[in-house]
């Protein structure tokens, strides 16, 4: 397909906006004929609000919200939702739910109940804690998981982005039901809520239904955004010794915010460099297919961009004997995309894929509701979904070279290697490349 502007598959999601009396913001996307209604309820703050020593609390507050409320226990909630084809689940950022379109009022009612009055019964809390602790303890013996966590710590330093949202074995073990209730009372408040609904619904009826289901929800305090301080990017190497058949390499540095004007060009860059489909991107084609160094390999900077800066991360799992080749390969490709214009055929493949697949990301009601929340959080303009594919289609080889030079830092990378390899050897490779 051509990426000319006349052929662009444009997408539009328009929502009616309501300021609820509780202080929550409601966004409703009416999609006639949609068989499912989806609701996304986002609470600003998430893991950034975990207290020191209780990391993982936000994740448990959301994950356990459906285990019982002031009016229904978990079994009763499930019995109400299942005949309607409904579900509600939670995480550190809030709640998500869906149901068949005819039962949307039930979903609104129960979502409001779970948002306002989760009970956090001790038996369910302890059961979920044990599951999480088992997983966290298993990850402590998984070199890939250990390497990924240590890489984030090196890049971000001592801020919440450098910690796992699930917490650590030590912090999760300390969390009790009283901590979850206190966190919920303080942070799950109406003034921090963005609620998005997508489906075949009447927006004003949805507004009235949420006014009823959220009646009495405390407005609380608005969340004040704080600027985070990160370590200056510089050359650093760390090895996590593990006797395994593979070495897991994480190479990268501090990235960009989603609001960066270079974001569209960086998305296209990523698809050329290390995140394109199949075998089209360079690190997959060269490191995986031509050199046979690994099955799983990737590199990119755009996907982690958020309200705060993300990371540029290159990852490969390879044999100990191929570590030097893999590392040099990453650095070579970073410098090549900075120093040479991307050939027309590579650029066309990346742009065509991004433009052609763009609309498919908004086919389901849950995807549309999630987008509405994201657009509100990031401050996207109403025509953002029309602008973005046009921006992808307009990216030139010169744009890619410019943003690569501006945002990729091959000489200031953090490197974490988990497996049977020596730190001195890796340091020599980085210093000499």
pLDDT, position 126: 95
| CATH number of the domain enclosing 65 | 3.30.830.10
- Residue 84 to residues 28, 72, 202, 211, 359: CA-CA distances in angstroms? 21, 17, 19, 22, 29
Whether residues 93 and 137 share a domain: the answer is yes
Whether residues 333 and 388 share a domain: the answer is yes
HSE-CB of 32 using CA atoms within 13 angstroms: 0
Q: Is 316 helix (H, G, I), strand (E, B) or coil?
A: strand
Q: How far apart are the C-alpha atoms of 58 and 44, rounded to whole Å?
A: 11
Q: Which of 151, 179, 213 is the last residue before a domain boundary?
A: 213
DSSP characters over 31-71: -TT-SEEEEEEEETTGGGGPPTT-TTHHHHHHHTGGGBBSS
Whether residues 171 and 290 share a domain: the answer is no
Residue 49 included in any domain: yes
How does DSSP classify residue 236?
E
Pairing of strands 236-240, 414-418: parallel
Q: How far apart are the C-alpha atoms of 125 and 113, rounded to whole Å?
A: 19
Q: Is 402 helix (H, G, I), strand (E, B) or coil?
A: helix
For each of the chain's 433 residues, which pLDDT tens digit applies? 444 444 555 567 889 999 999 999 999 999 999 999 999 999 999 999 999 999 999 999 999 999 999 999 999 999 999 999 999 999 999 999 999 999 999 999 999 999 999 999 999 999 999 999 999 999 989 999 999 999 999 999 999 999 999 999 999 999 999 999 999 999 999 999 999 999 999 999 999 999 999 999 999 999 988 889 999 999 999 999 888 789 999 999 999 999 999 999 999 999 999 998 877 899 999 998 889 888 789 999 999 999 999 999 999 999 998 999 999 999 999 999 999 999 999 999 999 999 988 888 888 999 999 999 999 999 999 999 999 999 999 999 999 999 999 999 999 999 999 998 876 667 776 766 5
Q: Is 328 helix (H, G, I), strand (E, B) or coil?
A: helix
Whether residues 209 and 94 share a domain: the answer is yes
Domain that holds residue 271: 236-432
pLDDT, position 361: 84
With residue 20 as reference, give the H or E element that holds it.
none
pLDDT, position 433: 57
Whether residues 206 and 258 share a domain: the answer is no
Q: How far apart are the C-alpha atoms of 93 and 81, rounded to whole Å?
A: 22
Q: Is the dihedral of CA 409, 410, 414, 419 positive or negative?
A: positive
Residue 264 burial (CB < 10 Å; 0-12/13-18/19+)? Answer: buried
**Tokens 């001195």, residue located:** 424
Residue 6 included in any domain: no
Q: Copy the structure tokens of residue 145.
A: 């998981």
Helices 263-273 & 397-407 angle (0-180, nearest 10)? 90
Contact 60, 125 (CB under 8 A): yes
Q: What are phi and psi of 170, to 5 degrees?
A: -70, -45
Whether residues 26 and 143 share a domain: the answer is yes
Entry field: residues in the chain: 433
Taking the model in full, what pTM does it have?
0.92
Q: How far apart are the C-alpha atoms of 316 and 277, rounded to whole Å?
A: 17
- Alpha-carbon 213 to chain mean position: 29
Whether residues 200 and 265 share a domain: the answer is no
Residue 426 included in any domain: yes
Residue 219 included in any domain: no
Instruction: Name which of 354, 255, 291 is nearest 283 in CA terms.
Output: 291
Residue 220 included in any domain: no
Residue 4 included in any domain: no
Q: Which residues make beta-bridge pairs with 199?
A: 30
Residue 190 included in any domain: yes
Ramachandran quadrant class, 190 (left: phi over 0; alpha: psi -120 to 50; beta: rest): alpha
Q: How far apart are the C-alpha atoms of 418 and 192, rounded to whole Å?
A: 39
Contact 97, 107 (CB under 8 A): yes
Residue 305 included in any domain: yes
How does DSSP classify residue 308?
S
Whether residues 201 and 242 share a domain: the answer is no
Whether residues 298 and 329 share a domain: the answer is yes
Based on the structure, what is the number of domains in the chain?
A: 2
Q: Which of 213, 244, 259 is the last residue before a domain boundary?
A: 213
Instruction: Name which of 420, 412, 414, 413 is nearest 240 in CA terms.
Output: 420
pLDDT, position 1: 40
pLDDT, position 222: 93
Whether residues 327 and 428 share a domain: the answer is yes
Whether residues 397 and 365 share a domain: the answer is yes
Whether residues 57 and 168 share a domain: the answer is yes
């Amino acid at each position: 397909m051509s990426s000319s502007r006349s052929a662009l598959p444009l997408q539009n999601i328009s929502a009616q906006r309501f300021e609820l009396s509780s202080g929550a913001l409601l966004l409703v996307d009416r999609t006639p004929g949609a068989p499912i209604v989806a609701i996304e309820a986002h609470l600003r703050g998430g893991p950034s609000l975990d207290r020191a020593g209780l990391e993982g609390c936000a994740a448990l507050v959301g994950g356990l919200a459906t285990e019982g409320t002031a009016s229904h226990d978990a079994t009763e909630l499930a019995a109400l939702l299942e005949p309607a084809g409904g579900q509600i689940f939670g995480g550190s950022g809030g709640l998500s739910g869906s149901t068949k379109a005819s039962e949307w009022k039930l979903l609104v009612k129960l979502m409001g109940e779970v948002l306002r009055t989760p009970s956090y019964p001790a038996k369910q809390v302890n059961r979920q804690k044990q599951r999480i602790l088992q997983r966290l303890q298993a990850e402590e013996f998984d070199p890939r998981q250990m390497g990924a966590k240590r890489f984030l710590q090196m890049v971000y330093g001592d801020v919440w982005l450098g910690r796992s949202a699930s917490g650590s074995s030590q912090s999760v073990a300390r969390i009790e039901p009283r901590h979850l209730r206190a966190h919920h009372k303080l942070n799950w408040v109406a003034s921090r809520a963005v609620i998005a609904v997508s489906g075949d619904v009447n927006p004003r009826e949805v507004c009235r239904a949420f006014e009823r289901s959220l009646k009495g929800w405390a407005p609380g305090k608005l969340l004040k955004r704080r600027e985070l301080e990160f370590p200056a990017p510089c050359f650093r190497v760390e090895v996590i010794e593990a006797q395994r058949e593979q070495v897991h390499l994480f190479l990268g540095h501090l990235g960009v915010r989603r609001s960066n004007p270079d974001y569209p060009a960086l998305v296209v860059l990523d698809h050329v460099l290390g995140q394109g489909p199949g075998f089209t991107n360079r690190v997959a084609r060269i490191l995986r297919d031509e050199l046979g160094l690994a099955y799983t390999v990737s590199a990119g900077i755009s996907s982690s961009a958020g309200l705060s800066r993300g990371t540029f991360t290159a990852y490969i799992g390879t044999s100990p004997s191929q570590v030097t080749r893999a590392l040099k390969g990453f650095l070579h490709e970073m410098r090549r995309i900075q120093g040479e214009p991307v050939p027309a055929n590579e650029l066309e493949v990346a742009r065509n894929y991004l433009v052609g697949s763009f609309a498919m990301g908004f086919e389901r009601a849950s995807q549309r509701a999630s987008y509405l929340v994201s657009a509100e959080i990031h401050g996207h303009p109403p025509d953002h979904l029309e602008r973005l594919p046009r921006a992808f289609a307009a990216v030139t080889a010169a744009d890619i070279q410019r943003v690569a030079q501006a945002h990729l830092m091959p000489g200031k990378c953090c490197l974490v290697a988990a497996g049977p390899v020596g730190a001195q050897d890796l340091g020599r490779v980085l210093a000499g490349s």
